[in-house]
């Protein structure tokens, strides 16, 4: 097409030089100049955009590029430049990639690269405990990539676990300080299943420990115990047990301050002392029979201990006898073997010396050839040709 266009323009120019159609030739010449200027502007815009992308700067020349080749060149330069970035260049790289329209070539790769850069910034914010910035970056990455980011999901999960652990720690501190109402409110905010079970198990043990000294706090904890937990039945029983005690406890009254002058009672107008009330009768405890008091039970226990001690002594004696017999058999075997070697005039194949009767030789585990211990440790292999065994018996 371009060649045909240039040929037609050349023919029109030749006709114009011969004096044919002067007005029409002048219009064609202006069209050619406009096309050449448009090509120059296109090249200049592509060059300026490539330079700006290389410097990670926002460029207005990107929107003026119309050719597919120029667009692809700019996108390739942007992907190449943002492949390896330093921390200080990430923000500018994001602005550079966002300046490139989505309808240009390799849009999917640009979104993936932009998403990776934003996730790297989110990781840095999460490491520096800038949680708000981390959440914003994760949202931007999910919008750019049009799907959830696996790292952001895992980071949110870790953050939720950290916060849940902090809430559990605060609830346990309130429980340790004896603040029952505040503990119930703090424990209701704990979300982890395992942590909820730990918190309420410790709360139930604490309530049982203070059911006599602070029945109101113990009753509040037992009444708020979750029904889905393991010991919910025991908590309900404790609440039913403490309910009448909580109703009978009088409300705390504020004592009036007494001045030093009125501290001494008046002998005339002093009220008569109230008659001492008789102490309430305590219910008698049921008497339980102790089986060890009877002589028959004592005899049986003593005879059982005696039988166990005799059996243990017999077992120890048998074990010692077996060990002594095994040691004696080893010594006899060593003596017989040493005399057999001396009778056969056996010699070590490594050093050529006879075996000493008092020194136990080492035999090859494969062929049974005897060696001195020092020779075996030196050679580390059997001296018999083609045996090549490295294990000693």
Express each pLDDT in 124-159 by its tens digit: 888 888 888 888 889 888 888 888 888 888 888 888
Rounded to 5°, the CA angle 23-27-29 comes to 115
What is the reported pLDDT for 293?
57
Is residue 118 a contact partner of residue 94, using CB atoms and an 8 Å limit? yes
Strands 370-371 and 362-363: what pairing?
A: antiparallel
Q: Quick one: angle between helices 131-145 and 150-176, nearest 10? A: 150
Nearest to 369 by CA among 333, 391, 359: 391
Q: State the pLDDT at residue 375.
A: 92
**Would you give per-residue pLDDT tens digits along the chain (393 residues)?**
555 655 565 555 555 544 444 444 455 568 888 888 888 888 888 888 888 888 888 777 787 788 888 888 888 888 888 887 777 788 888 887 888 888 888 888 888 888 888 888 888 888 888 888 888 889 888 888 888 888 888 888 888 888 888 888 888 888 878 777 788 888 888 888 888 888 888 888 888 888 888 888 888 888 888 888 888 888 888 888 888 877 655 444 332 333 333 333 434 334 444 444 444 455 545 544 455 556 777 788 888 888 888 899 999 999 999 998 888 887 766 555 555 554 454 688 889 888 876 677 888 988 888 888 899 989 889 988 878 888 887
Question: What single string gives the DSSP state of each residue in 235-262?
Answer: HHHHHHHHHHHHHHSPPP-PPPP--STT
7: part of which helix (H) or strand (E)? helix 2-17
Q: How far does CA 271 lie from the centroid of its chain?
A: 72
Asked if 9 contacts 25 with a C-beta cutoff of 8 angstroms, the reply is: no
pLDDT of residue 121: 87
344-380 burial: b if 16+ Cβ within 10 Å, else e: eeeebbbeeeebeeeeebbbbeeeebbbbeebbeeee
pTM of the predicted model as reported, rounded to 2 decimal places: 0.44
Cβ atoms of 203 and 188 closer than 8 Å: no
CA 316, 319, 325, 326 torsion-angle sign: negative
């Amino acid at each position: 097409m371009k060649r045909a266009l240039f040929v037609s323009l050349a023919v029109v120019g030749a006709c114009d030089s011969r004096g044919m159609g002067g007005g029409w030739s002048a219009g064609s010449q202006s069209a050619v100049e406009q096309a050449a200027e448009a090509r120059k502007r296109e090249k200049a815009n592509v060059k300026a955009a490539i330079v700006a992308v290389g410097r990670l700067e926002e460029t207005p020349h990107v929107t003026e590029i119309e050719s597919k080749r120029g667009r692809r060149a700019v996108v390739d330069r942007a992907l190449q430049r943002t492949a390896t970035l330093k921390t200080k260049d990430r923000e500018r790289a994001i602005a550079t990639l966002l300046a490139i329209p989505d309808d240009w070539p390799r849009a999917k790769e640009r979104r993936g690269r932009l998403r990776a850069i934003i996730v790297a910034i989110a990781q840095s914010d999460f490491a520096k405990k800038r949680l708000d910035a981390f959440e914003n970056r994760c949202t931007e990455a999910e919008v750019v990539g049009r799907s959830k980011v696996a790292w952001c999901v895992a980071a949110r999960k870790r953050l939720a676990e950290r916060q849940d652990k902090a809430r559990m720690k605060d609830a346990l501190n309130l429980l340790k300080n004896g603040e029952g109402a505040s503990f119930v409110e703090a424990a209701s905010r704990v979300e982890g299943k395992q942590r909820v079970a730990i918190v309420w198990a410790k709360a139930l043990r604490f309530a049982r420990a203070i059911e006599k000294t602070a029945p109101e706090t113990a009753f509040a904890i037992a009444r708020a115990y979750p029904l889905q937990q393991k010991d919910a039945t025991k908590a309900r029983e404790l609440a039913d047990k403490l309910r009448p005690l909580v109703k009978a406890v009088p409300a705390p009254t504020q004592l009036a301050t007494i001045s030093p002058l009125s501290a001494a009672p008046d002998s005339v107008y002093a009220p008569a002392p109230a008659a001492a009330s008789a102490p309430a009768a305590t219910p008698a405890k049921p008497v339980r029979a102790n089986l060890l008091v009877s002589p028959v039970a004592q005899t049986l226990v003593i005879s059982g201990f005696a039988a166990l001690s005799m059996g243990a002594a017999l077992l120890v004696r048998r074990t010692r006898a077996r060990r002594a017999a095994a040691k004696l058999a080893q010594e006899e075997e060593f003596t017989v073997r040493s005399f057999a070697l001396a009778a056969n005039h056996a010699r070590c194949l490594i050093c050529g010396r006879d075996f000493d009767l008092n020194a136990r030789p080492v035999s090859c585990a494969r062929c049974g050839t005897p060696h001195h211990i020092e020779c075996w440790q030196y050679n580390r292999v059997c001296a018999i040709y083609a045996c090549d065994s490295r294990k000693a018996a």
